[in-house]
Chain A
Amino acid sequence: MRPYLLPILLLAEIALFTAISDVQFGSVADFVDYFRYYLMDLVPQAAPVLILSFGMTVVMLTAGIDLSVGSMVVLVACVMSQFEGDQQFWMTAIPIGIGLAFTLGFVNGSLVAWLDVPPIIATLGTMMFYRGACSIVMGDRENDPFYDVPGYEWFAGTVGTVVVVGILFALGGSWLQWSRWRRELLMLGGNRVAARYAGIPVTKRLLQVYSLMGLLTFPAALCFTAHDGAVNAGSLPGLELKVIVAVVLGGTQVEGGKGSVFGSVIGALLIAVLDEGLRGASGWGDRNLPFEISHLRFVLLGGLLLLGVWLNSHADKSRPLNPASPTATPKPT
């Protein structure tokens, strides 16, 4: 996809939804103020999807997919919520959360890399398994120790989430962009057998990729629990689908071998803006539409996804040097 299409789409979306939201601007100051609050709400809300989209992009580079991300985030949050909300939380719950997140991802990686289970099946299984584990850990309760942990609220704020997401994408993203690791993944995703013959340690790379995805569910759980303050076993329904839509919209190919984490950022923001816009426009919808505007949510989300996929393939055709075979060699570094 042409890289400038996504930002244009995003801005157009923001403009459209602002136009039909129930806010009126008397002055420029009003306007600025509104957008300040808008971004202050939007970024923390989108933080889990943003963080996870990084990992999901990397997984998709290898022609894989991880359906268990939502369950992993909630399981990590549920386990962390078993601890008392005090200073000790940082010393107990946080390391356990990190360890658990890594382990859950490693389990996915083992299934895919060692047992050779197709990723969609392996992670579908763990998606249900982890969600069931949430219910076992939590029962039907709702836990809220997060309100009382000193300093925890920082991760709910705009600054905190921007710092977390920013570090991830600025440092992680640029390292990834120029790393040999990414090129190996691209090759792996394009043709696993060829990658193996080219001397890429396929099993090891797959394990690393799914473990990274698992590990990233920890910061996602951190931002989510800080924002919401409480968790139960049914929290965040459908999160994995949002993440996948975000990544595909961002120009990553599900077939593997092509993609960029920076595109995924825009993809995630596109979804967040759509979601937020529909919530803000319910008053406008009541006056102007014969049905409730919130019913459009899935229609638009699906449409956006299809548009993204179409733009992807369309852009490919128009490009003279089509990387039909990703074995068209990564540069040796």
Chain B
Amino acid sequence: MSNFGIRWPGDSFINRGLAASVLALLVAAGLFGIVGCGSSGNSSSSGNGGDEIVIAMLPKLVNIDYFDACQRGAERAAEDLGIRLIYDGPSEPSGSEQNKFIETWTRQGVDAICIAPNQPKTIKRFVEKAKERGIKVLTWDSDAADSGRDLMVNQVDDKLLGETLIDDIARQMNEEGEWAIAIASLEATNLNTWRRYAEERALSHYPKMKLVETVVTKEDESVAREQIELLLNKEPNLKGIIAFDSNSVPGAAEALKRTGRAGEVALTGNSTPGRMRPYIKEGVLESFYLWDPRALGNLTIRLAVKIVNGEEIAPAMPIEGHRDLVFSENDSTMVILSDPVRFTKENIDEYDFGI
């Protein structure tokens, strides 16, 4: 008899092992029995059998302030409407982890799933599976247009935001000189749509401005700071930076501050007031933009409930606590939350977005 390893198949241990396995099965069967009885006795708070509407919401990742604010808005809406909200997601911005959540919720038979996809291409099969089981699928924050989702809730008109950002930076640069882009990834649909509109407008409206570099910052403030510092050293003639996500803007602001080029290089973008307040007050940058993320979460849940109830989502539809519904010009399944708010030294204290 060998003394190594676990003695599964094929040694004298097998009889005792077999007996033990049978015992294990019996124990488990007993446990299942208890669980089964306990559950069927208490069917009031049922996930898939009861009348209560259950909506699952999947952010790109959990535990970052932007999505935490979205969660608070969603919870408020769920409370108002008397539905049950499941808000959960991966701890890293990973597409495959998100897919597993979609599979779990599909099996549990929730009524609607609202996804902010990290990798828009990878959710396709999982959206199909959910829809096969009669689950409504919405995307929010970032789109997966080819996935077959029912509705996209967009925080902002992509074209409007992209053009607003480039107009702002152009004004600060007197419409001439070198500028650069900082962006979390070249894959996320929302960020790159804004980037595309900004680039297009720069080409058509501001011929004297030259895009010299696009820096990828991986949703990470410290990566953004390092990358922008490198960029600033490399490009002594740089006059402006547009940063397209909530981590790149503070990262870029910190880089400007540390290299002493604040004021010389203009910066704008979209980020959260909580993090930008010190930089705005110090005058590192003049302005940045954002929508209310709580309103985004709130509107997403309200629309999901309407879809689950079989209501038609139509333009100019009144929604409690929001403006009448506005659709995107290019996509009839995309709803626009609001116009972006411009934050400056003067108005930054007037807003409380919870982040």
Using a CB–CB distance below 8 Å, which chain A residues touch chain B?
1-4, 7-8, 11-12, 14-15, 18-19, 21-28, 31, 34, 37-38, 41, 45, 139-144, 147, 156, 174, 177-178, 183, 186, 224, 227-232, 234-238, 250-251, 257-260, 262-263, 275-276, 279-280, 282-283, 286, 292, 294, 297, 321-323, 326, 328, 330-331
Q: Is the CB of A294 within 8 A of B5?
A: no
Q: Is B122 an interface residue (CB 8 A)?
A: yes
Q: Is the CB of A251 within 8 A of B94?
A: no
Interface size class of B (residues with CB under 8 A): 35 or more
Residue of B nearest to A42 (CB): B103
B residues in contact with A19, CB < 8 Å: 35, 38-39
Given known contacts A34-B107, A280-B104, what 15 new A-B pairs fall within 8 Å (CB)?
A8-B20, A19-B35, A25-B36, A25-B40, A41-B107, A140-B186, A144-B122, A186-B5, A228-B95, A228-B99, A260-B8, A279-B100, A286-B86, A297-B91, A321-B3
B3-27 CB contacts (< 8 Å) to partner A: 3-10, 13, 16-17, 20-21, 23-25, 27
Q: How far, in whole Å, are A330 and B97 apart by their CA atoms in the complex?
A: 43
B residues in contact with A257, CB < 8 Å: 4
Nearest CB of A to B144, in Å: 11
| Stretch in B42-50, B195-203, B264-272 with 4+ CB within 8 Å of A | B42-50
Q: Is B62 an interface residue (CB 8 A)?
A: yes
Interface flags for B225-265 (1: CB within 8 Å of A; 0: not) read: 00000000000000000000000000000000000000000
Nearest CB of A to B59, in Å: 12
Q: Is the CB of A4 within 8 A of B121?
A: no
Q: Is the CB of A26 within 8 A of B84?
A: no
Residue of A nearest to B101 (CB): A279
- Shortest 7 CB-CB distances between A and B: which pairs? A4-B20, A11-B28, A22-B47, A140-B186, A15-B31, A230-B122, A230-B121
Q: Is the CB of B39 within 8 A of A236?
A: no
Q: Is the CB of A22 within 8 A of B99?
A: no
Q: Is B125 an interface residue (CB 8 A)?
A: yes
A residues in contact with B8, CB < 8 Å: 3, 177, 260, 262-263
Q: How far, in whole Å, are A233 and B42 apart by their CA atoms in the complex?
A: 46
Q: How far, in whole Å, are A326 and B3 apart by their CA atoms in the complex?
A: 8
Q: Is the CB of A38 within 8 A of B107?
A: yes
B residues in contact with A262, CB < 8 Å: 6, 8-9
Nearest CB of B to A20, in Å: 9
Q: Is B209 an interface residue (CB 8 A)?
A: no
B residues in contact with A38, CB < 8 Å: 107
Q: How far, in whole Å, are A205 and B108 apart by their CA atoms in the complex?
A: 47
Q: Is the CB of A24 within 8 A of B104?
A: no
Q: How far, in whole Å, are A14 and B27 apart by their CA atoms in the complex?
A: 12
Q: How far, in whole Å, are A306 and B39 apart by their CA atoms in the complex?
A: 32
Residue of A nearest to B216 (CB): A140
* 6 A–B pairs (Cβ distance < 8 Å), ordered by A: A3-B8, A11-B25, A142-B187, A229-B124, A262-B6, A275-B100
Nearest CB of B to A140, in Å: 4
Known: A4-B21, A280-B108. A14 touches B28 (CB 8 A): yes
A residues in contact with B187, CB < 8 Å: 140-142, 232
Q: Is the CB of A263 within 8 A of B6?
A: yes
Q: How far, in whole Å, are A258 and B5 apart by their CA atoms in the complex?
A: 5
Nearest CB of B to A194, in Å: 15
A residues in contact with B88, CB < 8 Å: 279, 282, 292, 294
Q: Is the CB of A15 within 8 A of B35?
A: yes
Q: Is B2 an interface residue (CB 8 A)?
A: yes
